[in-house]
C-alpha cells in the first residue's frame, strides 16, 4: 500500500496518531502538500462521507475520522500555507438563534472541511445579523444555517431577509438543513439549497464552489 493509501485507510479507521505519522512520512518522501491533502486525507474523508450517507457508518465513526483528519492536518498546514493551496470555497456556518443543537452542524462543518472548504463556525444561537457580518467579513461563498427545532427553523427566514437588507444576498448561496427542515421549507423562505445530511451538504457546497470558480 502506498503512503497515500495508508493515510486514507488509517483516517477511515480514526487512528489519529497514525494518520499524523503517515502524513509526516509522506512529507519526508517528498510528496507535495496538495497531493497529501487531496489523495490521502480528503480521499479518506470522502469514503467515510459516502458510507455515512448510506448508513454504513454512524455519527461516532464520522467524529473519530474527523479527529484523525485534524491530526493529519497539523504537519500539513504550514506546507499548505507556504505552497499557497487555496480553499475550494468559503463557508460561514451556524445554528440559528434560540437553538443550541450543534452535533449535526459540527458534522456538516467537518465534512465540508474534508472537501477542502474553509469553514468559519459561528457556533450556536446565532442571530441573523451575525451571519450577515460574518458573510461580509469572510467574503463567504455559502451561508449554512442549521436548526433542530420546529420553533427555531423559522429563524432561517430572518437570516435570508437580513442577508437581503445587508446587500449580500445575491453574492452568495444560502444552504439550510437540520432534522425538521425540508426542501419545500427551503424554497418557501427563499433559501437556495436544502441538504438532508452532512455528506450531501458537503457535496452540494463543493459543487457550488466548483461552478463559481
Q: Contact positions toward ligand B1M, by CB under 6 A?
A: 59, 98-105, 107-108, 144-146, 148-151, 175-180, 195, 197-198, 201
Q: Which is nearer to ligand B1M, 68 or 198 (CB)?
A: 198
Nearest to 7 by CA among 102, 88, 76, 72: 72
C-beta of 89: minimal distance to ligand B1M in Å? 14
- Kindly list the distances between the CA atom of residue 45 and the CA atoms of 13, 106, 128, in Å, as whole numbers in the listed order: 10, 15, 31
Q: Which is nearer to ligand B1M, 55 or 82 (CB)?
A: 55
> Do 105 and 74 contact (CB within 8 A), yes or no?
no
Q: Which is nearer to ligand B1M, 76 or 140 (CB)?
A: 140
C-beta of 40: minimal distance to ligand B1M in Å? 24
Q: Which is nearer to ligand B1M, 2 or 182 (CB)?
A: 182
Helix ranges (DSSP H) in 29-58? 33-35, 42-53
**Beta bridge partners of residue 143, listed in sequence order:** 92, 174
C-beta of 59: minimal distance to ligand B1M in Å? 5
Residue 210 burial by Cβ neighbours in a 10 Å radius (0-12, 13-18, 19+):
exposed
Q: Which residues have C-beta within 8 Å of that of residue 206, sequence separation ≥ 6?
A: 88, 89, 115, 116, 117
Cα 156 from chain centre: 19
Q: Which is nearer to ligand B1M, 37 or 65 (CB)?
A: 65
C-beta of 75: minimal distance to ligand B1M in Å? 29
Q: Which is nearer to ligand B1M, 23 or 57 (CB)?
A: 57
C-beta of 153: minimal distance to ligand B1M in Å? 8
C-beta of 26: minimal distance to ligand B1M in Å? 30
> Do 8 and 44 contact (CB within 8 A), yes or no?
yes
How far apart CA 197 and CA 151 sit, in angstroms, is 20
Amino acid at each position: 500500500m502506498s503512503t497515500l493509501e495508508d493515510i486514507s485507510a488509517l483516517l477511515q479507521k480514526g487512528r489519529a496518531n497514525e494518520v499524523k505519522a503517515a502524513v509526516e512520512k509522506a512529507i519526508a518522501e517528498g510528496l507535495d502538500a496538495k497531493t497529501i491533502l487531496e489523495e490521502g486525507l480528503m480521499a479518506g474523508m470522502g469514503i467515510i462521507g459516502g458510507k455515512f450517507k448510506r448508513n454504513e457508518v454512524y455519527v461516532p465513526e464520522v467524529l473519530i475520522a474527523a479527529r484523525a483528519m485534524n491530526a493529519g492536518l497539523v504537519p500539513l498546514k504550514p506546507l499548505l500555507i507556504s505552497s499557497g493551496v487555496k480553499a475550494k470555497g468559503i463557508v460561514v456556518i451556524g445554528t440559528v438563534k434560540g437553538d443550541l443543537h450543534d452535533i449535526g452542524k459540527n458534522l456538516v462543518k467537518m465534512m465540508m472541511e474534508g472537501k477542502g472548504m474553509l469553514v468559519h463556525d459561528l457556533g450556536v444561537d446565532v442571530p441573523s445579523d451575525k451571519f450577515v457580518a460574518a458573510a461580509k467579513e469572510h467574503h463567504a461563498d455559502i451561508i449554512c444555517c442549521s436548526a433542530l427545532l420546529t420553533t427555531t427553523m423559522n429563524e432561517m427566514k430572518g437570516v435570508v431577509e437580513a442577508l437581503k437588507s445587508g446587500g449580500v444576498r445575491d453574492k452568495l448561496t444560502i444552504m439550510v438543513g437540520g432534522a425538521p427542515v425540508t426542501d419545500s421549507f427551503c424554497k418557501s423562505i427563499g433559501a437556495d439549497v436544502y441538504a438532508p445530511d452532512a455528506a450531501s451538504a458537503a457535496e452540494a457546497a463543493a459543487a457550488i464552489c466548483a461552478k463559481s470558480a
